[in-house]
């Protein structure tokens, strides 16, 4: 810290000495020009110009934006087979079948009877006479086939029809537009200018 102070004081003295050398040495009412600086006691003021550079930087010209839009539901027509009349069965009744048959039946069984007669001489005689069985024919109805029920199957009846169906529901779509940037250039000072005293001749 002490060294820096001494250096600053020395520089101030040099600066005052240079100004006094340029203005002259005035004492009282007389003023005479100061002698010119010569030899190792002279210093020159050296100035360094500031250094600039072109800097490219990006800046936002439009922020990120999100937009929403509604996509309506989508419908379509489909063809489908529908039954308009179910299958059914129709009964068909067939009555029993009968035939008439003739059959021999016994009307009266064989028997004996006592007969009294007179012979050729006028005498009364008696004897047993065999009476054969008596048969006859009678008609009767017999069932040759019982009653039946046959079922006729009527198939179901179908038809084609169209109906409207939703194939995609209503949707809300969010679209995000990214932020937009641009590039601009500007001059910036890389290092400022400086001034320093250098001993003349070096």
Domain range list for the chain? 88-154
CA–CA dist 75, 162 (Å, integer)? 13
pLDDT at 180 over 70: yes
pLDDT band at 74 (very low <50, low <70, confident <90, very high): very high
CA–CA dist 16, 5 (Å, integer)? 16
What SS3 class is residue 9?
helix
Taking CA atoms, 23 is separated from 68, 144, 146, 185, 199, in Å, by 79, 166, 160, 47, 20
Please name the residue that has the structure tokens 């250096």.
7
pLDDT at 110 over 70: yes
* Amino acid 42: pLDDT: 84
* Amino acid 155: pLDDT: 95
- 113-154: per-residue pLDDT in tens? 888 888 888 888 888 889 899 988 888 899 999 999 999 999
């Amino acid at each position: 810290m002490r060294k820096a102070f001494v250096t600053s004081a020395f520089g101030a003295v040099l600066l005052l000495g240079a100004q006094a050398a340029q203005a002259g040495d005035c004492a009282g009412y007389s003023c005479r020009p100061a002698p010119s600086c010569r030899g190792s006691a002279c210093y020159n003021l050296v100035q360094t110009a500031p250094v600039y550079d072109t800097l490219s930087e990006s800046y936002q010209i439009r922020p990120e934006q999100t937009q929403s839009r509604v996509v309506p539901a989508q419908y379509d027509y489909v063809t489908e087979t529908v039954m308009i009349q179910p299958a059914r069965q129709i009964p068909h009744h067939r009555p029993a079948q009968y035939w008439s048959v003739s059959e021999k039946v016994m009307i009266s069984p064989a028997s004996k009877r006592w007969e009294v007669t007179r012979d050729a001489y006028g005498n009364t005689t008696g004897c047993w006479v065999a009476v054969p069985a008596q048969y006859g024919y009678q008609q009767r109805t017999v069932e040759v086939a019982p009653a039946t029920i046959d079922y006729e199957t009527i198939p179901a009846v179908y038809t084609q029809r169209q109906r409207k169906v939703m194939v995609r529901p209503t949707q809300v779509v969010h679209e995000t537009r990214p932020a937009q940037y641009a590039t601009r250039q500007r001059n910036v000072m890389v290092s400022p200018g400086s001034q320093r005293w250098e001993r003349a001749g070096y």
